[in-house]
Amino acid sequence: MSQWLFWQMGGLGPMAGQNHHFNRFAKEKIPYAIERYVKETARLYDVLNKRLADRQFVAGDEYSIADMAIYPWIVPHTYQQQNLDDFPHLKRWFDSIAGREATQRAYALVEKINPSKP
């Protein structure tokens, strides 16, 4: 499980974060940066998609802190120019976590705290 936490912290988080920044918040559009981070995010989504091909959750068949750490980076996938239909196992995983009662409660709180959330 810890390897997937490190993967999120060292790969998905920084790359998806840069993708999100250059696609949504950068004052000027820099095509090179957008293309670079969109492609790298897609590569990382593919890594995760392959991981989820034969297991329900990232670290196996039990929901874990790895899933909790990775999920928020997938939530803004449309801002990252990623279509979850291109990653069917990732989409199944994402929909499963989005449907969890605890996830829905947490994101309802986010709406109250930050209505302009990404």
Region 90-98 average pLDDT: 99
Is the distance from CB of 5 to CB of 70 less than 8 angstroms? Answer: no
pLDDT digits (tens, 9 = 90+) for 36-63: 999 999 999 999 999 999 999 999 999 9
Classify residue 64 by burial, with Cβ atoms within 10 Å: 0-12, 13-18, 19+.
middle
* 21-33 residue pLDDT tens: 999 999 999 999 9
Query: Residue 116 carries which DSSP code?
Result: T
45 token code pair? 């989504």
Percent of the chain exceeding pLDDT 70 equals 98
Q: Bridge partners of 60?
A: 57
- Helix, coil or strand: residue 87: coil
Residue pointed to by tokens 């999920």 = 71
Hey, what domains does the chain have and what are their CATH numbers? 2-113 (1.20.1050.10)
Q: Using 50, 70 and 90 to split pLDDT, how confident is the model at 103?
A: very high
CB atoms within 10 A of CB 99: 9
